Every structure is written in structure tokens, then in C-alpha cells.
Amino acid sequence: MKLQDLEHLRSDRRIRFSNEIVNGQELTIVCYMVGDNELWQLPLATECRGIVFDANGDCVCRPFHKFFNVGENYFTQVSTVSGMNLEALEKRDGSMLTPVLVGGKVFWKTKKSFNSEIAIEAANNVPQNVMTLAIWLLRQNFTPIFEYTSPFNKVVLNYGETPAFVLLAVRHNESGNYIAYDEMKELETAYGVEVIKKFDMTLQDCLNQVDTSLR
């Protein structure tokens, strides 16, 4: 993935190309500001969720692509996804954070910026094992994606009095491929970094639980 691959989207007002100086280097963050079904039909628009490029146009941070609720569009209808190989993972109530290696140092960002209050706070609370894992993955051109929860920035749920980083996914910057959940569990064992919980549930189990909760 190169910055030039997204040039056809630069004039689209729904997507913002913003530049930030980090450790003396200019980085470009591409993120959608407004999403609609028309936008998601455009090539690579779903990648515009905080993806970052360096001055050479190389991808240095590749967060989650845009994903959708069940039934939100034609390709997430129950009849379409029920036959797929699916995993049920916990949805934590925090902020998505990704690290970026710039000039040999690690900097943290939220979806839209390195300079948000949460990104700055999180950077001051990164445990050493999380930092060690992040550096190891970044040097291999992978982006680790974390959910950050903190008593200082509680959204709704209370996760305790200690800031926490939970590994949600690991994505290759160039190919965009995600590593398997079992591989993340191996990283959990090796580095002592918490990995998002996985549940033994089918799609129908999940739908039934949501339906029950809404009654």
C-alpha cells in the first residue's frame, strides 16, 4: 500500500488527508470524516480509517479497515456471512490506538491524530512489555492494534483503576493481511500482553444474545 494508491480519493470531501510532524518527519494520515454507502463503493475507501504514510509514500501504520454491522449492507446480510468462518471477539469500550516507528522511536496515535489527548495520555502509560512487543512487530512491518482503557478517559464501562492495553489485531502494512488469532495468543504467551477475548459462539448465538439484551 502506497499513498499514491489513495490519490483518487484526495478530492473527496468525505475523506481527510492531514499532515503531522512527528519526531521531525512529516507523516500523512488518511481518514474518512463522513461515511456512506456510496463512499464504500470507491476503491480502497475502506482503508481510510487512520492509515499513515511517511514522506516517501510508504505505509507505516495500517489500522483496521472499515468494518460494518451485520445487516448494514448487502455483503453483511446474515444469509451472506452465516456460511463464513467467523470468530466472536469481545468488544471493549475504549479507544483504538496504534504505534508508529518514526526515526527509531515509537509514537502512539488514535484514529485521526498523534496529538489527541488520549494518544498523549496513552503514550505516558505504555507498559514495557507492550512497548517491547510493539517495537518487535513494527520492525517487521506489522501494525499492532490495541484497545486502550483508562480511568482517566472512561467511555461507559469501568475497567478498573489502571490503564490497560489489549491487543485486538496485528496487520501487515504492505499486504493488509491480519495474523491469525492463534498467532496473537502465542504473542500473549511470549510477551505477557493481554489479547482480546475470543468466545465459543456462532453467529446465531451472537444475534440471539443481542436480541435478548435489547428486550
Tens digits of per-residue pLDDT, 56-99? 999 999 999 998 888 887 778 887 777 777 888 888 888 999 99
- Of 2, 66, 91, 105, the active-site residue reads 91
198 a catalytic residue: no
- pLDDT grade for 167, boundaries at 50, 70 and 90: very high
| C-beta separation of 198 from 92 below 8 A | no
Output Rg (C-alpha) for the chain, integer angstroms.
18
**What is the per-residue pLDDT for 92?**
82
pTM flag (> 0.85)? yes
Per-residue pLDDT tens digits for 124-153: 999 999 999 999 999 999 999 999 998 776
